Amino acid sequence: MLEVRQLRKNYGSFEAVKGISFTVKQGEILGFLGPNGAGKSTTMRMVTGFLPPTSGTALIGGHDIVETPIPAKALIGYLPENAPVYPEMTVAGFLDFVAGVRGYCGAERARRVDSAVECCRLGAVRHQMVETLSKGYKQRVCFAQAVLHDPSLLVMDEPTDGLDPNQKHLVRDMIKTMAAEKAIIISTHILEEVEAVCTRAMIINEGRIVAEGTPVELKARHPSGRLDEVFRSLTQGTAEKTTKR
């Protein structure tokens, strides 16, 4: 479903992403791990077409995100970090607006809104103003807009950041429920997220992939059998050297 080919992103002389390549198939949930500033969000923005790469590309269902962005983006559901919503709209009104932007009308438009509300368990707040919702509910509204068109590829940047344990459990359960029919990427720095929902994980540091495998395979790389120790061993040394300079 997704094939990333040698993505690079430069900001002047600074190379934020340094030739990243990977694939994600239908039924996979890929955890994209890394410390702050590692290049996770930059990579996700290039994959989804929100940020042009300096070089390289990504293929979504065979469509090149650089050369043929419209058919490629039609297959993507994107939940960015701190996803924007319109606070003055009701939940149903906002989702209806998104459905209209997606080109749906009439009965199909209403069906898409109903399906997103049910999928993301928003029935209790369907007619409530977005600005009055808790952070957990707002995140689920953002989730709903990302899946309203039933995308083949779902890309989420920090989907549970700032949520309480109950809200995290609910969002993770929603992700796992959708996994069989989609290719999913979760960019996160929360290690427990990877063990809770991901079938495969990659660790990125300083714009490069430094490890890849199932959570079990990654944990086996350290005598402690702990993912946090593997993460530190692959990312902390470089950060310390940079600080000393």
pLDDT for residue 245: 39
Q: Are residues 66 and 160 in the same domain?
A: yes
Q: Are residues 181 and 194 in the same domain?
A: yes
Q: What is the CATH number of the domain that holds 170?
A: 3.40.50.300
pLDDT for residue 237: 61
Q: What are the strands of the beta sheet with 200-205, ordered from one edge?
A: 76-79, 153-157, 183-188, 29-33, 200-205, 208-213
pLDDT for residue 67: 96
Q: Are residues 49 and 32 in the same domain?
A: yes
Domain range for 144? 83-150
Q: Are residues 240 and 160 in the same domain?
A: yes
Q: Are residues 87 and 143 in the same domain?
A: yes
Out of 123, 150, 177, a domain closes at 150
Q: Are residues 239 and 208 in the same domain?
A: yes
Q: pTM to 2 decimals?
A: 0.87
pLDDT for residue 219: 92
One-letter amino acid of 21: S
Q: Are residues 170 and 70 in the same domain?
A: yes
Burial 96-128 (b: 16+ CB within 10 A, else e): bebbeeeebeeeebeebbeebbebbbbeebeee
Q: Are residues 129 and 233 in the same domain?
A: no
The answer to whether 87 touches 129, Cβ cutoff 8 Å, is: yes
Q: Are residues 58 and 105 in the same domain?
A: no
Q: What are the strands of the beta sheet with 2-11, ordered from one edge?
A: 14-24, 2-11, 55-60, 63-64
Q: Are residues 56 and 99 in the same domain?
A: no
Residues of the chain with pLDDT under 50: 239-245
Q: Are residues 49 and 7 in the same domain?
A: yes
pLDDT tens column, 54-108: 999 999 999 999 999 999 999 999 998 776 789 999 999 999 999 999 999 999 9
Unique residue bearing structure tokens 């061993």:
233
pLDDT for residue 174: 87
The answer to whether 133 touches 141, Cβ cutoff 8 Å, is: yes
152: phi then psi, degrees, rounded to nearest 5: -80, -30
pLDDT for residue 191: 87
Out of 115, 132, 150, a domain closes at 150
Cα–Cα distance between 102 and 144 in angstroms, integer?
A: 13
pLDDT for residue 243: 40
